[in-house]
């Protein structure tokens, strides 16, 4: 009997010959826990949802508008000049699809024929360097007095995120640089009064990606989808919780 909490759509059917879409976030889920991934994509049992972050979305929206002002004229942003980045915001007729500007697209997609999977990812931005190569750009919002870096454990997923995007665009025939950029908007906390506004400091962190892991993982994802339910992952908080509840 199907639970009311089970999703009925967007489920993988091993009998179907139709391509099945795997988003970048679901690749993250598989890397974190194959069992949770299987429950989500095969059985329609998803992890509890997380609340949205409207402030982060607003910052992303405003950054896109700011870089769009320079995109048509192929002019660099002042922030790019400050970091001596020899690139300009990339202009392409499908950019609004890749960014899912209207919340009705799947972002940039690539059909992986060997597994019959469609790999998709929604980007924040793309810059183009002097050699015509594309730089994947991701916007991040935070509020911290610490030095911002990519060394924190939870930020390892940021690296995987842009590497999936690099792989998708390379497989789609674009010339893609290994260099990706993270634009951080850091809300300061040192103002004496709030006065109804936040002040952000913008900074860029450069990252050299390596997407060689992506395709092997896609094959493992297909193997997982066509197999049986993976064992409980003792490193997964969700798996451990369900396991403990089942013992009660």
CATH classification at residue 151: 3.90.320
Q: For position 246, what pLDDT does the model report?
A: 65
CB 119 within 8 A of CB 164: yes
Domain for residue 102, yes or no? Answer: yes
Q: For position 183, what pLDDT does the model report?
A: 97
Count of domains for the chain: 1
CB 183 within 8 A of CB 140: yes
Domain for residue 156, yes or no? Answer: yes
Q: For position 191, what pLDDT does the model report?
A: 75
CB 127 within 8 A of CB 80: yes
Domain for residue 12, yes or no? Answer: no
Q: For position 1, what pLDDT does the model report?
A: 36
The model carries a pTM of 0.92
Domain for residue 3, yes or no? Answer: no
Domain for residue 13, yes or no? Answer: no
Q: For position 179, what pLDDT does the model report?
A: 98
Quote the DSSP letter at residue 7. -
Domain of residue 159 covers: 20-247
Domain for residue 52, yes or no? Answer: yes
Domain for residue 7, yes or no? Answer: no
Domain for residue 15, yes or no? Answer: no
Spans of the chain, pLDDT less than 70: 1-5, 246-248
């Amino acid at each position: 009997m199907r639970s009311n909490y089970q999703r009925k759509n967007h489920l993988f059917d091993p009998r179907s010959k139709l391509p099945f879409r795997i988003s970048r976030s679901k690749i993250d889920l598989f890397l974190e826990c194959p069992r949770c991934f299987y429950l989500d994509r095969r059985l329609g049992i998803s992890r509890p949802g997380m609340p949205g972050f409207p402030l982060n979305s607003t910052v992303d929206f405003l950054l896109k508008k700011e870089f769009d002002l320079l995109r048509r004229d192929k002019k660099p942003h002042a922030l790019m000049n400050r970091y001596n980045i020899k690139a300009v915001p990339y202009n392409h007729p499908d950019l609004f699809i890749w960014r899912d500007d209207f919340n009705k697209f799947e972002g940039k997609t690539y059909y992986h024929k060997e597994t019959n999977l469609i790999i998709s990812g929604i980007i924040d931005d793309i810059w183009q360097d002097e050699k015509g190569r594309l730089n994947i750009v991701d916007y991040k919002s935070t509020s911290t007095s610490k030095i911002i870096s990519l060394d924190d454990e939870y930020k390892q997923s940021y690296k995987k995120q842009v590497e999936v995007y690099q792989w998708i665009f390379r497989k789609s025939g674009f010339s893609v640089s290994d260099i990706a950029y993270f634009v951080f908007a850091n809300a300061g906390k040192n103002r004496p009064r709030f006065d109804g506004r936040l002040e952000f400091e913008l900074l860029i962190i450069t990252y050299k990606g390596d997407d060689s892991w992506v395709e092997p993982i896609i094959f493992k994802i297909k193997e997982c989808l066509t197999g049986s339910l993976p064992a409980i992952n003792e490193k997964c908080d969700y798996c451990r919780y369900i396991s403990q509840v089942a013992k009660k």
